[in-house]
Chains A and B, each alone.
Chain A
Amino acid sequence: MEQPSVKQVWEWLDAVPDPEIPVISLVDLGIIRDVAWQDDTLTVTVTPTYSGCPATSVINMDIETALRDHGIEKLQLKQQLSPAWTTDWLTERGKARLEDYGIAPPQPAGGPERCPNCGSKNVQKVSQFGSTPCKAHWRCTDCLEPFDYFKCI
């Protein structure tokens, strides 16, 4: 089999959904830091979102499964801690998909810009911690719906 290009591998990875938030891909999430061939071995460098995020091991397994399905035989997954993952690495497409899904995307101001359900700007924080390590719990004071906010780190 001919060695697939790095660009091709990135496209394959872009089709692997985040296990917790399946509307965005691992590439959208910004945790794939590098894809490179070293002779006949493909190295994929991944950085964790939060140190203890339980999705990390599932993500590694999903990457491995996807690439093996595309015929990659020699694969090495490398963990990289620095530079530490930041929500700035979420793609614009990823942010838009988060909002469609009902999760307010991260904002530099530190809180959601608007309610992902009704668009109201009248929102308040319930807790800094939410259903996963990467999210905080907010509510809309107009439509009264609770929602997740993808917090900045």
Chain B
Amino acid sequence: MTRNEALFEFLQRMGDNTLILGHRISEWCGMAPVLEEDIALSNTALDFIGQTQFWLGYAGEVEGEGRDADRLAFHRDAWDFRNVLLVEMPNGDFGQTIMRQFLFDAWHSIYIARLLKSSDTRVAEIAEKASKEIAYHLERSADTVVALGDGTEESHARMQKALDYLYPYVGEMFLSDEVDVDMAAAGVAPDPSSLREEYDALVQKVLDEATLSVPGNRFAQKGGKTGTMHTEHLGHLLCSMQWLQRAYPDGNW
């Protein structure tokens, strides 16, 4: 794998994480339990879609095959996506959506802080822009996890169930492969495995406050970021996200 190919992979991973999670939470638009949460989720989705345009736009330039961000987002099939499995997991109830958001935001905030010092200027610039938005995302999802976890008996039970269900998807965010090793060697991005300790400390602190217990089993479902094997949920998501470009290729207005 050349340095350029590794960079292309890395950029797709960044862009696909924000694209898929951004689409997932946009599914709540008009359906969230209260208006304020509906607006908050839609705004977070917008931030993610905006960040996706930067990451996938740059990915297309690095690839040099004439694909832009739209082309990558709407004309690739499930096996070409490089997002971690966590972000494609279904919304479930509102608690599961918020728990997924928190588990991702915590990783995203730690990872993006390292990208601020990336040796690749474009990566550092995108990170600088995104990091301000991500700080708001994390503050809100952490607060909401605490409010619901340390809430009623019902909300507590649902949050614990969501955590137990999603926790096996946390480990993948910290697995390193040859792309990560190459990006770390080039000073473009950190080795994800080096961030686990910081992540665990952050997550533990919030979950303690939320009176939730972190599952002991560290088994990690994987295959999303390498594209080896996505869950069945991704195909269904793409079906809805890409149908217009599939039905009317290159249509625009």
Q: Determine if B129 and A129 form an interchain contact, defined as CB atoms under 8 angstroms apart.
A: no
Q: Determine if B36 and A54 form an interchain contact, defined as CB atoms under 8 angstroms apart.
A: no
Q: Cβ of B47: which chain A residues have Cβ within 8 Å of it?
A: 50-52, 133
A128 within 8 A of B: yes
Q: Determine if B126 and A133 form an interchain contact, defined as CB atoms under 8 angstroms apart.
A: no
- In the complex, which residues 25-49 of chain B have their Cβ closer than 8 Å to any Cβ of chain A? 36-37, 39-40, 43-49
Number of interface residues of A (CB under 8 A): 22
A77 within 8 A of B: no
Q: Cβ of B81: which chain A residues have Cβ within 8 Å of it?
A: none
Q: Determine if B54 and A133 form an interchain contact, defined as CB atoms under 8 angstroms apart.
A: no
Q: Cβ of A137: which chain B residues have Cβ within 8 Å of it?
A: 36, 39
Distance in angstroms between the alpha carbons of A131 and B128 in the assembled complex? 24
Q: Determine if B129 and A51 form an interchain contact, defined as CB atoms under 8 angstroms apart.
A: yes
- In the complex, which residues 103-153 of chain A have their Cβ closer than 8 Å to any Cβ of chain B? 126-133, 137, 151, 153
User: Which of A29-37, A61-69, A81-89 is the contact stretch?
Assistant: A81-89
- In the complex, which residues 76-125 of chain B have their Cβ closer than 8 Å to any Cβ of chain A? 124-125
Q: Determine if A153 and B133 form an interchain contact, defined as CB atoms under 8 angstroms apart.
A: yes
Q: Determine if B133 and A51 form an interchain contact, defined as CB atoms under 8 angstroms apart.
A: yes
Q: Determine if A129 and B44 form an interchain contact, defined as CB atoms under 8 angstroms apart.
A: yes
Among candidates B37, B49, B124, B128, residue contacting A52 with C-beta atoms closer than 8 Å: B49
Interface residues on B, range: 20 to 34
Q: Determine if A48 and B139 form an interchain contact, defined as CB atoms under 8 angstroms apart.
A: no
Distance in angstroms between the alpha carbons of A51 and B51 in the assembled complex? 6
Q: Closest residue of chain B to A82, judged by CB? A: B125
Q: Determine if B36 and A81 form an interchain contact, defined as CB atoms under 8 angstroms apart.
A: no
Q: Determine if A128 and B130 form an interchain contact, defined as CB atoms under 8 angstroms apart.
A: no
Q: Determine if B36 and A126 form an interchain contact, defined as CB atoms under 8 angstroms apart.
A: yes
Q: Determine if B54 and A81 form an interchain contact, defined as CB atoms under 8 angstroms apart.
A: yes
Closest beta carbon of chain B to A134's beta carbon, Å? 9
- In the complex, which residues 17-51 of chain A have their Cβ closer than 8 Å to any Cβ of chain B? 48, 50-51
Closest beta carbon of chain B to A31's beta carbon, Å? 13
Q: Determine if B132 and A84 form an interchain contact, defined as CB atoms under 8 angstroms apart.
A: yes
Q: Determine if A129 and B128 form an interchain contact, defined as CB atoms under 8 angstroms apart.
A: no
B176 within 8 A of A: no
A53 within 8 A of B: yes
Q: Determine if B129 and A53 form an interchain contact, defined as CB atoms under 8 angstroms apart.
A: no
Q: Determine if A133 and B43 form an interchain contact, defined as CB atoms under 8 angstroms apart.
A: yes
B53 within 8 A of A: yes
Type the 1/0 row for B188-228, where 1 means its CB is closer than 8 Å to any CB of A.
00000000000000000000000000000000000000000
Q: Cβ of B139: which chain A residues have Cβ within 8 Å of it?
A: 128
Q: Determine if B140 and A52 form an interchain contact, defined as CB atoms under 8 angstroms apart.
A: no
Q: Determine if A83 and B128 form an interchain contact, defined as CB atoms under 8 angstroms apart.
A: yes
Q: Determine if B53 and A51 form an interchain contact, defined as CB atoms under 8 angstroms apart.
A: yes
Q: A51-B129, A81-B129 are known contacts; what are 4 more A-B pairs with Cβ within 8 Å?
A: A52-B50, A82-B128, A128-B40, A129-B36
